[in-house]
A and B are shown apart, each in its own frame.
Chain A
Amino acid sequence: MSKPVDIKVKLGTLTLKSPIVCASGTFGYGLEMKGLTDFSRLGAFITKTITGEPRVGNLPPRIIEVETGVLNSIGLENPGVDIFIQDYVPHIKKIPCECIVSIGGHTFEEYKEVLKKLESVKGIRAYEINLSCPNLQLKRMISQDPHATYKVVKTLRAKTARPLIVKVTGETEDIAKIVGAAKSGGADAVSLVNTFFGMAIDIVRQKPYLGKGYGGYSGKGIKPLSVYRVWNAAQAVDIPLIGGGGVMNAADAIEFFLAGAHVVSIGTLNFLYPNACADITGGIIAYMRAHKIKKINELTGRAHE
């Protein structure tokens, strides 16, 4: 019998049974994954980002494979918070896994409004605040601006006791400043990174593939960019980090732990392997046994030592 290893992690008051979570937008609202994913081995899943009003999303085509990953321009299509609460939450509650709801908005007020409505709903264990939406007032993403990041997080912190995870973009001059601002605002954890901007052009039609032209670049090609940002964030703050961006297997996930992540998120890989998170959890346990690591925390940040 091999010795049990402890892979539980804490994000604020929330304890996850596994340090592997599904990234927002790659798992829907969990419902379609029934029968394809072993929820019992998943730390949590993060919903597709929910906004105040329904969003129709961007012009198709919206997703295309490139040599080193995937470009997408979904455009935050979602049914809006009211329909989410009415039609989706009752089903989500039956899923045997923690659910973290991702909140988005194009204005500061929208974040507040969505959070306020979700506060009265039971069964939601934590929020991930997606600060990578284009903000109409700032004319860029909130997580590209430390002051705006601080402001939003502080406002939302005052309105909820549930764990607040702040998701930031990697497309910023100084990631340390941004995660520092999130921490000062009262974040329980920071999630990084979101997709990077990218484009691919069809040389036959001589037009971009994506309907919107550009999109978010995810998948294996962004892994070195993501690991580096997680590394920098780990040096800047001592709150837990959800690291991810380009994880394709357990070895990739372990890199993120070594760089300083407490939890690792799996995004694009879910499309190829709907049970990827469970498999990667298995791979991490095997690695911990091989390296005589009893607790997953011992792995976090080890490469900095």
Chain B
Amino acid sequence: MKKKTENRDAIKHIQCSLRTIEKVAYQTYRLSFVSEHLARCARPGQFVHVNVGGGLSLRRPFSIHKIKGNEVFLLFRVVGRGTRRLKEYHRGDTLDILGPLGNGFRFHEAHKYSHVFLVAGGMGVAPLVFLSQKIAQGTGRSLVDAHVCVGVKTKKDLIAKSDFPRQFKIYTASDDGTIGIKGSVIDALEKKLIQVKDKNPRIKIYACGPKPMFAECARLLKQYPFCDCEVSFEQFMGCGIGVCLGCVIDTHDGYKRVCKDGPVFDLKSIF
């Protein structure tokens, strides 16, 4: 019995046929491919390591954005050579993938809290859609009060909003005020925390975004001690499977590998 679960979770090197790819915002694309293995085993917060070809020397890590049946979605922003290549893929092309990788969010814990907040800065929205799906599945009785805070530069960057299940109330913040409140996603989150803080809440925050956002989250955690927070970190990677020790970040417990010990960490173990 035990063996079976081990195999189920196994990291596999798989070739998948690309099913869809579309531009969803400025320099931002969503693609999908079919993988029974990933659809069955992947947990939210886990990622895949993609060999985009073209003579590049290393794979590129992308979070699993959402899963629909056997179809696995990635959401990515074009920032350099690898992502520029990836956006040129077409339906039917083969994607060379290692996965699922990393630990993932502890989504089963969501129902233990009175409120859950998913906090996305920029492309950080990618893994949170999959997470929201899993939380919604596990809490059909709507045990939790579920919220998403999304921060974008400007209105046009807002993506994936309609992908969050109905249970989730969505708040947006934009740098230029073209949508939601004018300010950062942390401002949006803090506004909500202030509203609920006298109701004796127990709050779980799941966050993904740029590093400065995590520092801000850490500040909120000190100010609102009824919050726990898990964050998904990024680091430059080599192997993606824990052998090269290239992807470490500094934690209170020493260097930890983002690809194997993470990418999800308890925020308190970092700040």
Contacts and interface: CB of A to CB of B under 8 A. Distances in A.
B56 A65 contact: yes
* Chain A, interface residues (CB within 8 Å), range: 20 to 34
B35 interface: no
B225 interface: no
A191 B264 CA distance: 39
B57 A69 contact: yes
Interface stretch (A88-96, A111-119, A228-236, A269-277): A269-277
A70 B57 contact: yes
Contacts of B10: 35
Interface stretch (A20-28, A138-146, A297-305): A20-28
Most buried by B among A25, A32, A65, A274: A65
A193 B51 CA distance: 26
Interface stretch (B40-48, B158-166, B194-202, B249-257): B249-257
A57 B254 CA distance: 10
Contacts of B235: 60-61
B262 to A, nearest CB: 12
Contact of B98 (A63, A72, A209, A274): A274
Contact of B244 (A25, A60, A64): A25
Interface in A64-81: 64-65, 69-70, 72, 74, 77
Interface size class of B (residues with CB under 8 A): 20 to 34
Contact of B247 (A35, A63, A65, A274): A63
B18 interface: no
Given A32-B242, A72-B244, A74-B244, A63 B237 contact: yes
Interface in B208-248: 235-248
8 contacts: A35-B10, A63-B246, A72-B246, A74-B244, A271-B58, A271-B239, A272-B58, A274-B13
Given A74-B246, A77-B245, A77-B248, 7 more contacts: A28-B244, A62-B236, A65-B57, A69-B57, A271-B244, A272-B58, A274-B239
Interface of A: 25-28, 32-33, 35-36, 48, 56-57, 60-65, 69-70, 72, 74, 77, 209, 219-220, 268, 270-275
